[in-house]
């Protein structure tokens, strides 16, 4: 039976992030992908100005009620960028309705990067997102998001023991497996790390470091990771596939970076992703 994921995040109509990344990527992995759009924006908020924002919070309970009547079930529930703290509460109810012992929940607390919260977010939003993280099986923050969640200072200078400590503290929120993205100890390598609090194991996956920030890579990583775990890959395998694919996408983008400042050229790499999951 084909696996089914539901992903809950915004549609930025132009800009290749959130749903316009998650939908093609998870579909390419051979997984049926249902969506709940949380908001419609003309573009994402990372570098554009004057974008429109239509909040769809009130639609979510109706979609959920209809799906409950239909008896829909999903192998994974995966959330990304959420538009407001009210919306996080409603998504939390959705987890109560659709989460079960046979599926898993992934929360990517997409709210900050480079030491700063994205436009429109504040500390109240962070505390609500932190609660949502406690309900997840996997959370996928970058170091900025992890620092906001844990209330610790953001730093770009850290070592492996710091990463282990951050992962351990994140697991204490109640989520079984925190995953930290964008880990780098030097300029040579960059990657991701995970902690399975059930077994006490730590996992690391590194690839070459490319010191250009490319927009939307967090969404690409989280989508691939969610898809890989849905397909039954181990944490180690899912981490390696996600790191490799994210680096492929960054490498593909670099020659066009002046025009592509707003997004990542993931489309030409989808064939490689299909190979990685074979």
- What residues make contact with ligand PXL under the rule CB under 6 A? 10, 12, 17-18, 41, 44-46, 81, 110, 118, 216, 218-219
Least distance between ligand PXL and beta carbon 201 (Å) = 29
For residue 107, what are its two tokens?
């929360």
Residue in the block written with tokens 């987890």 = 95
Least distance between ligand PXL and beta carbon 144 (Å) = 12
What value does the CA radius of gyration of the chain take, rounded to a whole number of Å?
A: 17
Nearest to 172 by CA among 197, 155, 144: 197
Task: Please say which residue, 7 or 171, places its beta carbon nearer to ligand PXL.
Answer: 7
Task: Please say which residue, 166 or 222, places its beta carbon nearer to ligand PXL.
Answer: 222
Task: Please say which residue, 223 or 244, places its beta carbon nearer to ligand PXL.
Answer: 223
Least distance between ligand PXL and beta carbon 12 (Å) = 5
Task: Please say which residue, 16 or 233, places its beta carbon nearer to ligand PXL.
Answer: 16
Q: Answer for the pair 221, 179: CB distance below 8 angstroms, yes or no.
A: no
Least distance between ligand PXL and beta carbon 216 (Å) = 5
Inter-axis angle of helices 235-253 and 217-230, nearest 10: 150
DSSP letter at 4 equals E
Cα–Cα distance, 92 to 44 (Å, whole number): 24
């Amino acid at each position: 039976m084909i696996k089914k994921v539901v992903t809950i995040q915004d549609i930025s109509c132009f800009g290749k992030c959130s749903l316009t990344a998650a939908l093609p990527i998870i579909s390419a992995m051979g997984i049926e992908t249902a969506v709940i759009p949380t908001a419609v924006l003309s573009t994402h908020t990372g570098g554009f100005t004057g974008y429109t924002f239509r909040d769809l919070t009130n639609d979510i309970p109706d979609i959920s009620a209809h799906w409950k009547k239909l008896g829909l079930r999903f192998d994974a529930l995966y959330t990304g960028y959420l538009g407001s703290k009210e919306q996080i509460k409603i998504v939390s109810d959705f987890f109560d309705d659709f989460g079960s012992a046979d599926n898993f929940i992934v929360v990517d607390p997409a709210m900050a990067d480079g030491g700063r919260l994205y436009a429109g977010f504040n500390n109240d939003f962070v505390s609500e997102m932190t609660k949502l993280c406690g309900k997840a099986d996997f959370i996928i923050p970058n170091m900025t998001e992890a620092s906001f969640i844990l209330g610790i200072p953001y730093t770009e200078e850290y070592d492996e023991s710091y990463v282990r400590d951050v992962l351990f503290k994140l697991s204490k929120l109640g989520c079984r497996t925190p995953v930290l993205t964008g880990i780098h100890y030097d300029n040579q390598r960059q990657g991701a790390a995970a902690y399975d609090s059930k077994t006490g194991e730590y996992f690391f996956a590194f690839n070459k470091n490319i010191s250009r920030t490319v927009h939307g890579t967090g969404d690409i990583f989280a989508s691939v990771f969610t898809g890989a775990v849905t397909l039954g890959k181990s944490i180690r395998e899912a981490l390696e596939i996600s790191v490799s694919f994210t680096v492929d996408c960054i490498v593909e983008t670099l020659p066009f970076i002046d025009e592509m400042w707003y997004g990542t050229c993931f489309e030409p790499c989808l064939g490689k992703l299909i190979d990685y999951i074979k």
